[in-house]
């Protein structure tokens, strides 16, 4: 543990010392990930040893077991921070990093210099500092930074090292300690007042509040209905080449007043302006009144259309577009981007900058000229200013790596399908950002006609003609809100004012106003960025955390808050308002930037937050003083209304989950019920639903088959529970096609028959079953499982079909159906099994249904022979099953005696390293 407080820490690296002429230098380059180490090692000579730290090597203790024995008696050890001693942190080496640290320490002894090549942001700077603290090197150390992993960039970084930035380390440590203090002081309040095992966090609580506030808006929202008329008009006479004859228009005016649209209503269903609101009878009368009306063009208005390309990607905009266009979560988007960065395909993906280097601009302009032509190339390069306050954690936007950009069709042969799609997205956005504007003309045509009773009507249609596509040839940005979306090109007939038109169709249309849309991961990231909450490196983890903690769940792509989230947010808003105040949280980010820039010191800042000032309470005082003021019952209750008898109905969060209560009646609330669905009418319906109803008797046991409603949805149960027995009655969830009110005895017995045993795998005699789970139907063999395409397969799937499904690569939920083979190669002469080539998560591979083998560099799927495929599979079988990745030491390794473990041969150092070590004089 460091002996000095963070405001006094920081290592000065240098001056650098070099060996005498003629000595062969050896160097150790330390990066975070093994994938990055592999790529960088390919660019450096054998005099460099490239090794990974596998992420962070030290952190504050996660639990009491992590606290070293020497500190267990200290009262502050629970926090891992000595708040009374200048916030001195207690760092411990992570248990799953100890073997790697041991390996790095042995390598440090064999080299003449060390390059710390961790990422260039605060996290990377902190990892580099922690490595110095645990490795204690006695050789020169250099800080090596780069934002893309190409040979040129790596060699330039080797030639231009810098010192470790102490201020960046201080900022990261301050953020880590503040988050620890926040979580460890506030979370116990939630355990006592809401539910055990909940957590609070500086950014996660604010993100949860944003989602809850949107759901509150939806719950308060009052829908309004309105009607209009849709018409299809025809131009009369000759047409020019390519000119459309007909176009659609909507009723927008009646008797000189505007006809109401959705935007004219407020959240209470009332009109916000002086407009005419048509209902269904009025629209029917107007439709009848328009019979035989002669229509003519009232006016034609045109105005120039011009759109600039969007800026190159930074982290937040990349996550948003990956969600909209590729349907990736924030976490998935960053994982694929990380893989592309480590393989040398793109630049660093955690950035809040939209700047492109001169090299990147030149590469983009070269592609534009060659691929799209000079007409799509602006006279001068485009410059983009970042809209993010204090954007300074990285130097460049996310873009393809290198001095020239590899084309998407070229890299598609080298990457997995999703990686290739992510690369193409980044390539398109980067190239489009340097292209010309999209230019055209927007035309509004207004058509009028008088009804038989003399009422004046006006219909409007809008069309856009793009005369120069510009950046749209390469890329069009997507948006979450349809109101912000650029309309696709739509051409209208060439008409003039006064020109008569025929009406081909006239139809009344009913509409209903919608509540504000729920946040998606993309729109929530955008909102956090607008508020200044969080940083590029934290967005993906925020999305993951609020879902893992049970505060938010996904309904399609929409983020739905749980009732537990309502309780937590209500408690924080009422008793700790500063902690979830958007401006307060954004100021914290500004303060961390100032610490990184040397404007503020970390310890005084932490002291103000935790201990407060004379007239401003700190976190410690707030928690101690306000705990007794919190009314747990009120915090955990959401009033839904009052019954006809005057009895209030509330939704509450209890120890066993959310439930409804009205007087003595109570009922569990399903986990998949969104809060805005809990209307007073729905609550009364649920409370009036009987606890269970008998659908008949089981012919085998004679027991009642009961249909019930539970926390996880409707289910059926065989017999009543026996209070004297620990055994629970058999139960099964209803299928999606079944209803609790209409389920029959045959249907109930059908789902109670699950899981269904299909038989045993002929290869190992292990039982295979089909089952219905929380996330749908699946087939299972031991610990291995695969999702099924539909619920009908639960009762129709055969053993042979199940074996084929289990042979497919495992997919995560939401990835869709497994793809068919890319190519059938032939039958393995040794095993008699068919061999096919497939596209998997990590690239193209060959498989015979049991063994999978990745294609090597130079193998092309189109040219792969049967002999080569058999060779790859044979090598894979000879290598044995892949080692299981997991945390900590395996049971087998742990059980092995220490003496035997010590005898295991160490990995040999590279030859040049060993040769150089032999030349070095012994250390005194």
Pairwise CA distance, residues 825 & 855, whole Å: 13
Q: What is the pLDDT of residues 317-328, one digit of tens each?
A: 999 999 989 989
Q: What is the pLDDT of residues 37-89, one digit of tens each?
A: 988 998 998 889 999 998 889 999 988 889 999 998 898 998 999 999 999 99
Pairwise CA distance, residues 670 & 553, whole Å: 13
Burial letters 480-506, b for 16+ CB under 10 A, else e: beeeeeeeeebebbebeeebebebeeb
CB-based burial label for 798 (10 Å; 0-12, 13-18, 19+): exposed
> 707 and 739 in contact (C-beta within 8 Å)?
no
Q: What is the pLDDT of residues 329-378, one digit of tens each?
A: 998 999 999 999 999 999 999 888 899 989 999 999 999 999 999 999 99
Pairwise CA distance, residues 311 & 354, whole Å: 6
Mean pLDDT is lowest, of 39-43, 199-203, 387-391, 895-899, for: 895-899
Burial letters 885-923, b for 16+ CB under 10 A, else e: eeeeeeeeeeeeeeeeeeeeeeeebbebbeebeeeeeee
Pairwise CA distance, residues 432 & 356, whole Å: 13
Position 411 scores a pLDDT of 93
Nearest to 48 by CA among 64, 33, 60, 37: 37
Could you tell me the pLDDT band of residue 899, with boundaries at 50, 70 and 90? very low
Pairwise CA distance, residues 689 & 675, whole Å: 19
**Average pLDDT for 484-510:** 84
> 228 and 251 in contact (C-beta within 8 Å)?
yes
Pairwise CA distance, residues 420 & 346, whole Å: 11
- 822 or 179, which is more confident: 179
**Residue 140 token pair:** 């020169």
**CA distances (Å), origin 547, targets 316, 521, 526, 540, 659:** 19, 11, 18, 11, 21
Pairwise CA distance, residues 601 & 383, whole Å: 34
> Which residue is listed with tokens 């510009």?
470
- The yes-or-no verdict on residue 500 having pLDDT over 90 is yes
Average pLDDT of the chain is 85
Which residues touch 816 (CB under 8 Å, ≥6 apart)? none
- The yes-or-no verdict on residue 483 having pLDDT over 50 is no
Pairwise CA distance, residues 197 & 828, whole Å: 53
Pairwise CA distance, residues 89 & 92, whole Å: 10
**H and E: helices and strands count for the chain:** 27, 33
**Residue 732 token pair:** 């099964």
**Which residue spans within 410-455 are E strands per DSSP?**
438-450
Position 816 scores a pLDDT of 46
The 3-state DSSP class for residue 501 equals: strand
> 127 and 135 in contact (C-beta within 8 Å)?
no
**Average pLDDT for 260-288:** 94
Could you tell me the pLDDT band of residue 711, with boundaries at 50, 70 and 90? low
Phi-psi region of 284 (alpha: psi -120 to 50; beta: other; left: phi over 0): alpha
- The yes-or-no verdict on residue 309 having pLDDT over 50 is yes
Q: What is the pLDDT of residues 690-704, one digit of tens each?
A: 667 788 888 888 888
Based on C-alpha coordinates, what's the Rg of the chain?
33
Which string of DSSP letters, residue by residue, matches 739-783?
Answer: -TTT--HHHHHHHHTPSEEEEE-TTT--EEEEEEETTEEEEEETT
> 771 and 784 in contact (C-beta within 8 Å)?
no
CB atoms within 10 A of CB 697: 12
Nearest to 186 by CA among 569, 551, 656: 569
- The yes-or-no verdict on residue 903 having pLDDT over 60 is no
**Average pLDDT for 612-636:** 90
- The yes-or-no verdict on residue 821 having pLDDT over 80 is no
> 39 and 50 in contact (C-beta within 8 Å)?
no
Pairwise CA distance, residues 208 & 580, whole Å: 9
Q: What is the pLDDT of residues 570-618, one digit of tens each?
A: 999 999 999 999 999 899 989 999 999 999 999 999 999 999 988 888 9
- pTM of the predicted protein model: 0.74
**Residue 292 token pair:** 């035989």
Which residues touch 702 (CB under 8 Å, ≥6 apart)? none
Pairwise CA distance, residues 108 & 103, whole Å: 9
Position 484 scores a pLDDT of 47
Beta pairing class for 27-31 and 637-642:
unpaired
The catalytic residue positions are: 348
- The yes-or-no verdict on residue 895 having pLDDT over 60 is no
Q: Where are the alpha helices (DSSP H) in 552-614?
A: 563-575, 582-596, 602-611
């Amino acid at each position: 543990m460091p002996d000095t407080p963070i405001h006094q820490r920081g290592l000065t690296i240098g001056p650098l010392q070099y060996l005498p002429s003629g000595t062969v230098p050896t160097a150790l380059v330390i990066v975070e990930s093994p994938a990055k180490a592999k790529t960088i090692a390919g660019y450096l000579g054998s005099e460099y040893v490239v090794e990974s730290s596998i992420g962070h090597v030290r952190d504050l203790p996660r639990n009491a077991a992590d606290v070293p024995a020497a500190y267990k008696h200290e009262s502050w050890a629970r926090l891992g921070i000595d708040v009374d001693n200048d916030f001195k942190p207690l760092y411990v080496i992570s248990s799953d990093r100890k073997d790697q640290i041991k390996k790095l320490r042995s390598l440090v002894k064999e080299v003449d210099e060390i390059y710390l090549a961790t990422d260039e942001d605060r996290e990377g700077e902190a990892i580099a500092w922690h490595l110095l603290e645990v490795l204690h090197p006695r050789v020169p150390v250099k800080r090596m930074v780069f934002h893309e992993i190409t040979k040129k960039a790596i060699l330039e970084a080797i030639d231009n090292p810098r010192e470790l930035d102490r201020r960046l380390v201080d900022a990261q440590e301050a953020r880590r300690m503040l988050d620890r203090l926040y979580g460890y002081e506030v979370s116990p309040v939630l355990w006592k007042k809401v539910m055990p095992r909940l957590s609070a966090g500086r950014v996660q609580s604010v993100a949860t509040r944003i989602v809850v506030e949107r759901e509150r808006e939806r719950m308060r929202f009052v829908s309004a209905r309105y009607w209009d008329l849709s018409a299809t008009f025809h131009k009369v006479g000759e047409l020019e080449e390519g000119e459309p004859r007909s176009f659609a228009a909507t009723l927008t005016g009646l008797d000189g007043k505007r006809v109401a649209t959705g935007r004219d209503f407020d959240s209470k269903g009332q009109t916000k302006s002086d407009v005419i609101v048509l209902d269904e009878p009025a629209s029917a009368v107007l439709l009848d009144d328009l019979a035989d009306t002669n229509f003519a063009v009232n006016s034609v208005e045109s105005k120039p259309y011009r759109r600039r390309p969007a800026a190159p990607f930074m982290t937040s905009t990349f996550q948003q577009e990956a969600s909209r266009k590729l349907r990736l979560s924030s976490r998935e988007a960053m994982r694929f981007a990380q893989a592309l960065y480590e393989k040398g395909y793109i630049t660093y993906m955690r950035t809040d900058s939209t700047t492109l280097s001169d090299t990147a601009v030149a590469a983009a302009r070269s592609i534009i000229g060659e691929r799209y032509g000079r007409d799509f190339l602006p006279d001068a390069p485009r410059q983009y200013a970042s809209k993010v306050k204090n954007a300074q954690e990285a130097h460049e936007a996310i873009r393809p790596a290198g001095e020239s950009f590899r084309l998407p069709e070229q890299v598609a042969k080298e990457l997995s399908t999703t990686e290739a799609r992510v690369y193409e997205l980044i390539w398109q956005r980067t190239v489009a950002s340097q292209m010309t504007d999209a230019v055209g003309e927007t035309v509004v045509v207004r058509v009028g006609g008088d009804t038989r009773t003399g009422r004046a009507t006006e219909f409007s249609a809008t069309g856009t003609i793009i005369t120069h596509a510009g950046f749209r040839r390469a890329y069009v940005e997507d948006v979450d809100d349809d109101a912000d979306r650029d309309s696709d090109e739509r051409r209208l007939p060439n008409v003039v004012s006064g020109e008569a038109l025929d009406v081909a169709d006239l139809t009344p249309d009913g509409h209903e106003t919608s509540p504000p849309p729920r946040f998606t991961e993309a729109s929530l990231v955008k909102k956090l960025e607008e508020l200044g909450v969080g940083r590029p490196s934290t967005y993906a983890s925020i999305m993951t955390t609020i879902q893992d903690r049970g505060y938010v769940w996904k309904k399609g792509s929409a983020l739905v808050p749980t009732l537990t989230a309502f309780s937590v947010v209500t408690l924080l808003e009422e008793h700790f308002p500063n902690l979830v105040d958007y401006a307060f949280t954004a100021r914290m980010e500004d303060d961390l930037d100032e610490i990184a820039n040397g404007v503020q010191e970390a310890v005084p800042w932490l002291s103000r937050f935790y201990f407060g000032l004379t007239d401003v309470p700190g976190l410690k005082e707030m928690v101690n003083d306000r705990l007794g003021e919190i009314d747990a019952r009120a915090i955990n209750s959401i009033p839904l209304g009052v019954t006809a008898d005057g009895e209030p109905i509330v939704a509450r969060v209890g120890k066993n989950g959310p439930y409804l209560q009205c007087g003595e009646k109570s009922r569990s609330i399903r986990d998949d019920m969104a809060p805005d669905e809990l209307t007073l009418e729905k609550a009364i319906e649920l409370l009036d639903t009987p606890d269970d109803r008998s659908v008949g008797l089981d012919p085998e046991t004679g027991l009642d088959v009961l249909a019930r409603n539970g926390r996880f949805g409707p289910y059926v149960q065989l017999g009543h529970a026996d209070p004297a027995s620990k055994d629970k009655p058999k139960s099964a969830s209803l299928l999606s096609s079944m209803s609790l009110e209409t389920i029959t005895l045959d249907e109930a017995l059908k789902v109670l028959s699950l899981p269904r045993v299909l038989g045993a795998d002929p290869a190992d005699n292990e039982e295979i079953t089909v089952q219905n789970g929380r996330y749908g139907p699946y087939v299972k063999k031991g610990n291995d499982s695969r999702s099924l395409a539909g619920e009908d397969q639960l009762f129709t799937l055969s053993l042979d079909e199940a074996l084929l499904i289990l042979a497919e690569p495992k997919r995560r939920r939401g990835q869709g159906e497994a793809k068919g083979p890319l190519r059938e190669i032939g039958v393995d002469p040794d095993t008699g099994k068919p061999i096919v080539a497939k596209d998997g998560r990590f690239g193209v591979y060959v498989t015979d249904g049991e063994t999978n083998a990745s294609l090597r560099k130079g193998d092309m799927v189109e040219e792969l022979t049967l002999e080569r495929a058999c060779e790859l599979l044979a090598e894979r079988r000879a290598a044995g099953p892949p080692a299981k990745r997991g945390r900590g030491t395996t049971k087998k390794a742990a059980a092995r005696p220490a003496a035997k473990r010590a005898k295991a041969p160490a990995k040999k150092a590279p030859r040049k390293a060993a040769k150089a070590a032999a030349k070095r004089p012994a250390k005194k």
